[in-house]
Amino acid sequence: MASIGATTATTGRPERRADVELRLPADSAFASVLRTTTAGLAARLDFPIDDIEDLRIAVGEASAMVLPEAAPGSDLTCRFYMAPAELTVTVAVGVDGAVSPDYDSFAWQVLTTLASHASAETSDGAFSITLTMESGHPEIGN
């Protein structure tokens, strides 16, 4: 399997295998599958409903940014890295050349407002956006 959207440069974390990887046709018709998967994983991490919805929206905006850049016949690859109270998602497509993300776009503004951290990268024939959402869920202790 080809490596698309390595996370070391964008997250500053050691590269590791994704906890969940989803590969879909690079077509906006499949964005709802990505948003639903994201919501399910966030719920598994006990994110509050408001954070889950913010994450769904942010992932949708990341998809909206990468999909128009996809090379014909490429896949939309989504990698999910799960940690306590944190979900990092990398959304990537194969591209034919270098891509410069539009940091002034509405999609980028929404994504960076909702996510705790976001970055974009073009490398190894892929354009990827990585976003991290930290749960606002207060610790419950008894």
Cβ neighbours of 77 (radius 10 Å): 24
Distances (CA, A) of 23 to 84, 90, 92, 103, 141: 24, 12, 10, 25, 38
> What pLDDT score was predicted for residue 142?
30
CATH number at residue 25: 3.30.565.10
Residue 92 lies in a domain: yes
The domain tally of the chain equals 1
Q: Which domain holds residue 73?
A: 18-134
Contact predicate 57/104, CB 8 Å: no
Cα-based distances in Å from 36 to 16, 99, 129: 24, 27, 18
Q: Is residue 125 situated within a structural domain?
A: yes
Please give the pLDDT value at position 11.
Answer: 44
Instruction: Sheet with 86-94: list strands edge to edge.
Output: 20-25, 75-83, 86-94, 126-134, 117-123
Residue 82 lies in a domain: yes
Give a yes or no: residue 100 inside a domain. yes
pLDDT at 98: 86
In a domain, 9, yes or no: no
Task: Evaluate whether residue 12 is within a structural domain.
Answer: no
In a domain, 2, yes or no: no
Q: Does 98 map to a domain?
A: yes
pTM across the whole model: 0.83
Strands 86-94 and 126-134: antiparallel
- Give me the pLDDT at residue 137, please: 53
123: left (phi over 0), alpha (psi -120 to 50) or beta: beta
- Cα–Cα distance measured from residue 32 to residue 84, given in angstroms and rounded to the nearest whole number: 25
Ordered per-residue pLDDT tens for the chain, 142 residues? 333 344 444 444 446 888 999 999 999 999 999 999 999 999 999 999 999 999 999 999 999 999 999 999 999 999 999 999 999 999 999 999 889 899 999 999 999 999 999 999 999 899 999 999 998 754 433 3
Provide the token pair at 53: 């919805």
